Each structure stands twice: as C-alpha cells, then as structure tokens.
Amino acid sequence: MNAAASLLAIETSTEACSVALAVGGAVFERHEIAPREHTRLVLPMVQSVLAEAGLALADIDAFVMGRGPGAFTGVRIAVGVVQGLAFSVDRPVVPVSSLATVAQGVMEAGATHVAVAFDARMDEVYWGAFVRDAAGVADLVGPEAVLPPDAVSLPQPGPWVGAGSGFAAYSERLSGRLGLREGYAQRLPRARDALVLGRRAWRAGAAVDAAQAQPVYIRDRVVQNRS
C-alpha cells in the first residue's frame, strides 16, 4: 500500500460542502458553508483542487468519502459523486465517518476526548465519542448511534469537549447534563480532516470498490467503526 498516495476527499453531510486533495505533504482544499448548494458546488471544487495541484483525476489513488451520518440528501450527494468519480478512473473508495471527521478537526486544535453530536431532528442527535490515538487520529469509543439528547452518555472518564450542531440545539440536555466543555458547537466536517482518517484507513487496507461504498444513516441501526 502506497503510504504517500494521492487522496481526494469529499464531505457534504452537513451545511458545509468540502473537498480536499492530499498530494505528498501538501493539502489543497475548498470549503464553503452553503446549504442546498452542494450539487452545484462539489464538482467545480474537485476540478479546482486538481488544477491547483496540477493533477488529473486519473492521478488519484483513492477517494475518501464522508459516509455520514448527517443530512440524508447531503450524504447521498457525497456517495453519488464519489462513486461516479471512482468508477470513471477505476479507483477504490475509503468511507469515513462524518462524526469522526468533526472530532478529528477538534483534535487538530489540541483536544484529546471529543463527543460529537449532530442535530438529527425529531428530538434526536447523531452521537459518537472519540479519543485521540498515539498518532493523533480520532478513534471511536463505543458505538455511533441516534438517540434523544437525554439518553447519550460518555463511554469513559476524560477531559471531554463537545462538538457539532447537536450542542447548539440541545446545549443544556447535552453539555449541561454531562458537564462537557463546549466551544465547538458550530464545528462542521471538513474534507481536510476526513483525509487524516482516510489515510489511516487506506494504510490499513480498508478501501472498498466503488460499488461497495455505501452511506451510513444510523437511523435504523447502530454502527461500530474505527473511522
């Protein structure tokens, strides 16, 4: 497995439309908070980062896909676009959790324990708790789940901070009840952080064929997944 692989990440599970390309030690990113504009923005963003890096799509070794959970339409956009691009150049896909992507971004700012909650509507949140591993990458502790805010719990003691839109929507029922330090309630997933998770998964051999790259909505099931 080529550790210096060129990876292209697409993350559209929330209001943010985000694309990032890792080439060697360089990262090229386009990131815009643009609700309901993802379909219009995402492919021009892909073309823009490729042009900036001086690469063609066929130069990409694998595509990193924000698999959700998140907004149904947004998750489907990332899956559809990544599958189409991957099929077109016969490259594999590395799915990564959108919750873990937010956690990774907060860990880049120095946190070691991050509880992520996305507002899932219907008085529920998408929930995942992550700790930073020895390499500085977010590891899931316990399951990702969709739960009422009053039902979530922390998996272990630690200096937990809260991140994601669920903390803006249900501050008292989450931070207040759990005693979490806030400050990241407006944090949205960024493709550059998905690249960190994707590179670890790529090195671990976790890439799949494009046809096997599927969204994760969590509504009807609980998942346990390293990334």
Residues 194, 96: contact at Cβ < 8 Å? yes
H helix runs in the chain, sequence order: 38-53, 72-89, 98-108, 165-169, 171, 177-178, 191-203
**One-letter amino acid identity for 72?**
F
pLDDT (tens digit per residue) in 160-212? 999 999 999 999 999 889 888 767 999 999 999 999 999 999 999 999 999 99
DSSP 172: I
pLDDT (tens digit per residue) in 203-219? 999 999 999 999 999 87
pLDDT (tens digit per residue) in 54-63? 999 999 999 9
- Report the helix count and the strand count for the chain, using DSSP H and E: 7, 11
Residue 25 CB contacts under 8 Å (≥ 6 apart), including other chains = none
Output the CA torsion 8→226→84→40 (10° steps).
-70
What is the percent of the chain where pLDDT is above 90?
88
Helices 191-203, 98-108: axis angle to 10 degrees equals: 100
What is the percent of the chain where pLDDT is above 70?
94
pLDDT at position 223 is: 45
Domains located in the chain, CATH noted: 7-97+189-212 (3.30.420.40), 99-184 (3.30.420.40)
Q: Flag whether the pTM goes above 0.85.
A: yes
The residue whose two tokens read 């959700």 is: 68
The residue whose two tokens read 């670890």 is: 200
Token pair listed for 186 = 């407006």
| 150 has a pLDDT exceeding 90 | yes
Residues 142, 165: contact at Cβ < 8 Å? no
**One-letter amino acid identity for 115?**
A
